[in-house]
Amino acid sequence: MVLEQMIDEKTAKRDPLKIFLLGAVVSTIAIFIANSVFPESTGLFSIIIITMAMIPLMNRMLHHEEAEDEKMMESYSFFQRYGDIIVAYMSLFSGMILAMSLIFVLLPQQLAQGVFDEQLKEINLIRGHFTFENQFLDIFVNNLSVLILAFLFSFLFGSGAIFILSWNASVLSAAIGLVAKSAGGVTAIPAAVLMFLPHGFFEITAYLIGAIAGGLISAAFLRKKSFKFWHVAKDCALLLLVAFVLLVIGGIVETGIILF
């Protein structure tokens, strides 16, 4: 894809602004194409298009990261090795959220509901699923299942977790858009984001880290001469542990501050 080829894997890791803008532009174009070609299922097909567009770049970035990590294993700390790719994933995710939130708010109400129909159904499902008595457990189990899916998709399909991450970005964008629309429009988006930020930061970061762990171990498997495979595997286990702890923190914050 032309847009994806404009940024190589090294630039994506070292220039968060560029990958942030790429996420925003690709999301906008994907929604436009999906709504033009698949108007009955825009919400789902836009995520499929985003996934198809971003997988080549994300796969190259994961392979580059895994190869780099083998060289850095001895002399760099854990967070020095993985900080740049985590920031890159977060930048891409943030670009998607900004673009889709703006689109939701700027579109007329009826059109926005049609474009984000699947996402709105998911929000209503989430609202109705959690019970007050077991709220923390329900939320944690749900979030843990997303983390496991993100890891497995990345492990099996390289950066296939971009589908799970894009879907969650679109659902969060619809939730932000609903709040912003009812509170004044575009100018209310920052306040709407802040409503979901306390717990959302921990949960989203956990998903991103899980996706990175799956992609790295997948890349290590594919590299026949990966002589430090077990070091990479150990790092991936640590990444998953960090993701698990973040989910616990996110669940505690979310049940302590009722937002949804």
9 with 64: CB under 8 angstroms? Answer: yes
Predicted confidence at residue 254, as pLDDT, reads 77
Q: Which residues contact 157 (CB under 8 A, 6 or more apart)?
A: 55, 218
Mean of pLDDT over the chain: 82
What DSSP line would sit under 116-128, residue for residue? THHHHHHHHHHHH
pLDDT band at 241 (very low <50, low <70, confident <90, very high): very high
Separation CA 151–CA 204 (nearest Å): 13
pLDDT tens by residue, 168-210: 899 999 999 999 988 888 888 888 888 888 888 898 899 989 9
pLDDT of amino acid 70: 63
Dihedral over Cα of 21, 23, 28, 33: its sign: positive
Mean pLDDT of 134-146: 82
Give the start-to-end residue ranges of the domains of the chain: 2-256
Across 10-14, 21-25, 59-63, 198-202, least confident range = 10-14
Judge whether residue 35 has pLDDT over 50. Answer: yes
- Residue that is written with structure tokens 């956990």 in the block: 206
Least confident interval from 46-50, 129-133, 163-167, 209-213: 129-133
Encoded tokens for 3: 């847009």
What's residue 198's pLDDT? 80
* Cβ-Cβ contacts under 8 Å for 103 (sequence gap 6 or more): 28, 31, 112, 115, 173, 177
- Kindly give, in sequence order, each residue whose CB lies less than 8 Å from that of residue 121, ignoring residues fewer than 6 positions away: none
More confident residue, 13 or 47: 47
pTM summary value? 0.83
Between 10-19, 23-32, 209-218, 222-231, the lowest mean confidence (pLDDT) is in: 222-231
Tell me the one-letter amino acid at 113. Answer: Q
